[in-house]
Homo-oligomer: A and B are copies of this chain.
């Protein structure tokens, strides 16, 4: 399945878990490591504490002008110096999903400045969004970030700012998993 990835929490993997904590709602079971694997390449029967699956998809809110600015400033995943990562699965409320497109956009950007805030932390923090609501998964999104240790404070700041927005009032489940490259 093109662009579909599994986040496998278990005893081994490329990323070692530094912390795993609930932000809102039920937390995930504690495991030692996380691996990110294309679903097509996943071994069946691999032992795992949990598996979260997400799909890279088209943008839902960003306007062309925003995509142009983001494209000029953001960097890809997998940079050698980016030895820190965060996996933050998020589920929004039924009230969010019942909103019309213009209402969600208004809250997401005009009120919460989601894209604009993220832009301030580029290129230090690289990001990738995985969609999973329509896959019948327990979360709606898997948000993934990679950064070098010297950007760890900036990343905390980014996360704090987003969590204080109006958009986050619609988040009903969130788990915060911090990772370090297992070397």
Contacts and interface: CB of A to CB of B under 8 A. Distances in A.
Given A55-B134, A134-B131, A134-B134, A61 B2 contact: no
Contacts of A105: 101
A133 B62 CA distance: 19
B64 A103 contact: yes
B64 A102 contact: yes
A64 B64 CA distance: 22
A78 interface: no
A71 to B, nearest CB: 11
Contacts of A67: 100
A64 B104 CA distance: 10
A148 to B, nearest CB: 30
A133 B60 CA distance: 14
A59 B134 CA distance: 12
Looking at A1, A55, A102, the one whose CB has the most chain B CB atoms below 10 A away is A102
A46 interface: no
A136 B101 contact: no
Nearest to A58: B97
A133 B4 CA distance: 12
B134 A2 contact: no
B63 A136 contact: no
Interface string A74-116: 0000000000000000000000011111110100000000000
Given A58-B98, A63-B102, A66-B100, 19 more contacts: A1-B136, A2-B136, A4-B136, A55-B134, A57-B133, A58-B97, A58-B133, A59-B100, A59-B101, A62-B100, A62-B101, A63-B100, A63-B101, A63-B103, A64-B100, A101-B105, A131-B134, A134-B135, A135-B135
9 contacts: A4-B136, A58-B97, A58-B98, A59-B100, A59-B101, A62-B100, A64-B100, A101-B105, A135-B135
